[in-house]
Amino acid sequence: MTTTIVDGLRAHLVTHHGDGTPLRREERVIEETPIALLYNGRSFAVMMATPCDLADFALGFALSEGIVGSPAEFELVDIVRAENGIALHAAIPQSRFEALDSRQRTLEGRSGCGLCGISHLEAALRPHPVAADGPHVPASRIREGLDLLARHQPLNARSGGVHAAGFVHGDGKTMEILVREDVGRHNALDKLVGAMRRCEPAIDPHGGFLTITSRASYEIVHKAACVGISIVVAISAPTSLAIRCARDADLTLIGFARDGRMNVYHGDDRIR
């Protein structure tokens, strides 16, 4: 039996085995549900995601996927909740809608894979912009940003197994972080991108760096480049295609950023 505690978490009764005596107790479990993204009434993708921060997710996905070029081209019309999932209905300009035909996703996108559902191989490796110069960041600030990220993951703290994406920014004297969490690392980044643009005022992607609690896949780096983020910091390893994407976009890619260490795979001129 499960019951909803807060958005994104459910309580589940389990049998715990520890000291040899089975114990029935309640555990908190992260939610995962199908979320359909529809534009002008047509379904584009179904992602397995955590059903919280849905307005952020809807806008961030549209921006990071290049479906729209700015929030001004996007309107979240409705959120429809059903027993078997959630549908996010958005309105976009007709020219943007017509461009979707060439890259229609025909299958579901699972929580662990941002490229699942791409119907043509050519659509998997899409063009991306070259990163702006962006900030030049001391290595010590990156370590501090990762410490901030670790302290701003309420869903993971209560359930475990949740990815987080955080954008570290500030004026050089103070440091702030905006964080979004999800069962899928790509979804967490999409939620973060949407949240950054929905803030008042919006957070400039050129004014800080991205931190993620996962490996740095191609999709993570590509999404970051598409929305103007020039520094990506992952606590785990990058993939070879992610490194190639970082080089093509001239984006700073950092991996294994933990325990006071990190590897800079490209763009070390931004780290001082």
Closest among 205, 213, 121 to 161, alpha carbons compared = 213
What is the maximum alpha-carbon separation in the chain? 64
Helical segments of the chain, H only: 54-64, 94-99, 121-124, 139-151, 154-159, 185-198, 218-226, 240-249
Q: CB atoms < 10 A from the CB of 69, how many?
A: 13
CA distance 118 to 45: 9
* CB contact set of 240 (below 8 Å; sequence gap of 6+): none
Cα(115)–Cα(136) distance, rounded to whole angstroms? 31
Residue 52 CA to residue 7 CA, distance in Å, equals: 5
> Which of 181, 183, 159, 193 is closest to 48 using CA atoms?
183
In the sheet with 2-6, reading across from the earlier edge strand, the strands are 2-6, 9-16, 23-30
Q: Which of 113, 116, 199, 226 is catalytic?
A: 113
Cβ–Cβ < 8 Å for 249, 130: yes
Whether 116 is catalytic is: no
Q: Count of residues for the chain?
A: 272
Nearest-CA neighbor of 53 among 111, 17, 6?
A: 6
Q: Which residues are catalytic?
A: 113
